[in-house]
Homo-oligomer: A and B are copies of this chain.
């Protein structure tokens, strides 16, 4: 079996027709959902690209792998999906974005050259690289945000697009009166991007994916990782005007959210991006572009699915569609992600498993509480490997895919480290105290903040929109305590004993006696004679 592990960036769980979107028709996402299982309660481990991805790729919580924000390097030696899959005999390739930052200091300390096979995998969070392009080729007075080479910019230049950064000037800009209308500016979100549609980022990466599959042999996992529908919010024709103001829902927000708001939420509601998304004209420009970007993703997914069918690969290819986090889009007075409302922390997750055992679940929806760290062990099982559950903290989804009802987790965890953000500065926190933890049991969602703040609590049964923070009063202390109990249990989890498996431990028991370690004998009668035979006999004399 092969695995096509497709990740979109910043795709909200509810912007798909199979998830109930009233205006956005995504027949190809729906097609995979009809062939597989759609998980309707899938949570990422951190509402930020880099950390969410490092959790997906390592199968471990953020506090376990430590890459707590974008650009915080994943420590050298941390095991990833690639390591686990290769051990199980499956190659693991990257096509697109990871947001990985290499631990250059750690690699230098261990003498690992970035251009060696081992070093390159360390630098690429365990993937072999078919194409690496993180899709954020911002450039300003201090230079490029991302100093690596950009295969996408190289591609555009090879197609004849001119200039230093065609990503910015063509793919992510429109034209107004002969001038560049940058996609960074929301007022331009309704313009068509200044690029042929087939050269824009999503089709480009789809082409590269088909190139990869064409030549790939043996069992492989390909992480196809699109930058879209992530900002900049601009999309080429015909997607730029498929949706309009009449497709933009009213923002899900309530004045009560701003009354006695939790200080961290309060600060977030006031930052630049939230302020922007509180403006109707921003939402009315951006959301149609966001929908157009998703529609383009859906069409490109259709190309991939058709290709798999035409080349008779569908029956041997597991397909996973998911995202690294959502986007508030003005809901809860917020823009972007970073907090734990459903719009940010819940993601689409659709899994098509070609195995016969999955026939019974095709086209079904599973509401189990799943986490993005569950994918790595799912893939290890699909590869025929044994899940190293002393390292991988997620749980394989295989039983759900195969119609079983396993014993399952009672709560999902997500974390956010905002130490590098302006909110940390505004609240006067030291970096180590700028950390949030979400515990969600399927009904109640607790958010704990370090730094001496009260928690937040939402009851999604009585308040599915999450407007009413129940921790503003003392009335729900019992639920708060119960969820804090889960968080405490999670805090004691076994996450770093990565060099000994449960089986290794069982196998090592009782070995020391037969190797002569006997710290409990009075006279030797306590053990078989054989154990002590090397300790008896005529006493030798010491040398003169």
A437 x B492 contact (CB < 8 A): yes
Query: Please, how many angstroms separate the alpha-carbon atoms of A71 and B187 in the complex?
Result: 62
A515 x B170 contact (CB < 8 A): no
B138 x A518 contact (CB < 8 A): yes
**Would you call A68 an interface residue if the criterion is a C-beta within 8 Å of the partner chain's C-beta atoms?**
yes
Q: Please name all residues of chain B whose beta carbon is closer than 8 Å to the beta carbon of A185 when the two chains form the complex.
A: 521-524
B543 x A496 contact (CB < 8 A): no
Query: Please, how many angstroms separate the alpha-carbon atoms of A199 and B544 in the complex?
Result: 12
Query: Please, how many angstroms separate the alpha-carbon atoms of A428 and B364 in the complex?
Result: 39
B425 x A509 contact (CB < 8 A): yes
Query: Please, how many angstroms separate the alpha-carbon atoms of A510 and B271 in the complex?
Result: 13
A516 x B140 contact (CB < 8 A): yes
- A-B pairs with beta carbons under 8 Å apart, 21 shown: A64-B496, A65-B496, A68-B497, A74-B499, A77-B106, A83-B109, A103-B499, A110-B122, A138-B518, A139-B516, A141-B514, A160-B544, A162-B543, A180-B538, A182-B532, A182-B536, A184-B532, A185-B523, A186-B523, A419-B505, A487-B491
**Would you call A450 an interface residue if the criterion is a C-beta within 8 Å of the partner chain's C-beta atoms?**
yes
Chain B residue with the shortest CB-CB distance to A122 = B110
Chain B residue with the shortest CB-CB distance to A503 = B431
**Would you call A461 an interface residue if the criterion is a C-beta within 8 Å of the partner chain's C-beta atoms?**
no
**Would you call A169 an interface residue if the criterion is a C-beta within 8 Å of the partner chain's C-beta atoms?**
yes
Q: A111-B112, A182-B532 are in contact. Are A139 and B539 (CB under 8 A)?
A: no
Q: A187-B523, A279-B522 are in contact. Are A170 and B500 (CB under 8 A)?
A: no
B500 x A531 contact (CB < 8 A): no
Closest 10 CB pairs of A and B: A491-B491, A160-B543, A66-B496, A138-B516, A140-B516, A488-B488, A77-B77, A182-B535, A145-B515, A73-B499
Q: Report which of B168, B194, B539 forms a contact with A516, defined as CB distance below 8 A.
A: B168
Query: Please, how many angstroms separate the alpha-carbon atoms of A418 and B68 in the complex?
Result: 31
> A163: shortest Cβ distance to chain B, in Å?
6
> A56: shortest Cβ distance to chain B, in Å?
17
**Would you call A427 an interface residue if the criterion is a C-beta within 8 Å of the partner chain's C-beta atoms?**
no
A492-506 interface with B by 8 A CB criterion: 492, 494-500, 502, 505-506
Chain B residue with the shortest CB-CB distance to A534 = B139
A431 x B522 contact (CB < 8 A): no
Which of A175, A186, A488, A519 gathers the greatest number of chain B CB atoms within 10 Å?
A519
A110 x B110 contact (CB < 8 A): yes
Query: Please, how many angstroms separate the alpha-carbon atoms of A159 and B541 in the complex?
Result: 12
> A332: shortest Cβ distance to chain B, in Å?
16
Q: Please name all residues of chain B whose beta carbon is closer than 8 Å to the beta carbon of A139 when the two chains form the complex.
A: 515-516, 534
Query: Please, how many angstroms separate the alpha-carbon atoms of A110 and B120 in the complex?
Result: 11
Q: A180-B535, A187-B522, A450-B492 are in contact. Are A500 and B73 (CB under 8 A)?
A: yes
Q: A142-B514, A273-B519, A531-B141 are in contact. Are A505 and B538 (CB under 8 A)?
A: no
Which of A116, A420, A487 gathers the greatest number of chain B CB atoms within 10 Å?
A420
Q: Please name all residues of chain B whose beta carbon is closer than 8 Å to the beta carbon of A144 when the two chains form the complex.
A: 515-516
**Would you call A432 an interface residue if the criterion is a C-beta within 8 Å of the partner chain's C-beta atoms?**
yes
Chain A, residues 288-307, CB within 8 Å of chain B (1/0): the string is 00000000000000000000
Query: Please, how many angstroms separate the alpha-carbon atoms of A159 and B532 in the complex?
Result: 26
Q: A77-B77, A180-B536 are in contact. Are A170 and B542 (CB under 8 A)?
A: yes
Query: Please, how many angstroms separate the alpha-carbon atoms of A66 and B493 in the complex?
Result: 11
Chain B residue with the shortest CB-CB distance to A142 = B514
Chain B residue with the shortest CB-CB distance to A70 = B512
B496 x A138 contact (CB < 8 A): no
Chain B residue with the shortest CB-CB distance to A164 = B534
Q: Please name all residues of chain B whose beta carbon is closer than 8 Å to the beta carbon of A279 when the two chains form the complex.
A: 522
Q: A488-B487, A535-B182 are in contact. Are A499 and B111 (CB under 8 A)?
A: no
Query: Please, how many angstroms separate the alpha-carbon atoms of A75 and B390 in the complex?
Result: 13
A170-223 interface with B by 8 A CB criterion: 170, 173, 175-176, 178-182, 184-187, 194-196, 199
Query: Please, how many angstroms separate the alpha-carbon atoms of A74 and B490 in the complex?
Result: 23
**Would you call A474 an interface residue if the criterion is a C-beta within 8 Å of the partner chain's C-beta atoms?**
no
> A250: shortest Cβ distance to chain B, in Å?
20
**Would you call A475 an interface residue if the criterion is a C-beta within 8 Å of the partner chain's C-beta atoms?**
no
A335-370 interface with B by 8 A CB criterion: 335-336
> A51: shortest Cβ distance to chain B, in Å?
10
Additional 8 contacts, C-beta under 8 A, given A67-B497, A142-B511 = A66-B495, A77-B110, A141-B514, A161-B540, A181-B539, A185-B523, A282-B522, A421-B509
**Would you call A136 an interface residue if the criterion is a C-beta within 8 Å of the partner chain's C-beta atoms?**
yes
Q: Please name all residues of chain B whose beta carbon is closer than 8 Å to the beta carbon of A534 when the two chains form the complex.
A: 139-140, 164-165, 168
> A164: shortest Cβ distance to chain B, in Å?
8
**Would you call A105 an interface residue if the criterion is a C-beta within 8 Å of the partner chain's C-beta atoms?**
yes
> A455: shortest Cβ distance to chain B, in Å?
12
B516 x A336 contact (CB < 8 A): no
Q: A430-B502, A518-B184 are in contact. Are A540 and B163 (CB under 8 A)?
A: yes
**Would you call A63 an interface residue if the criterion is a C-beta within 8 Å of the partner chain's C-beta atoms?**
yes
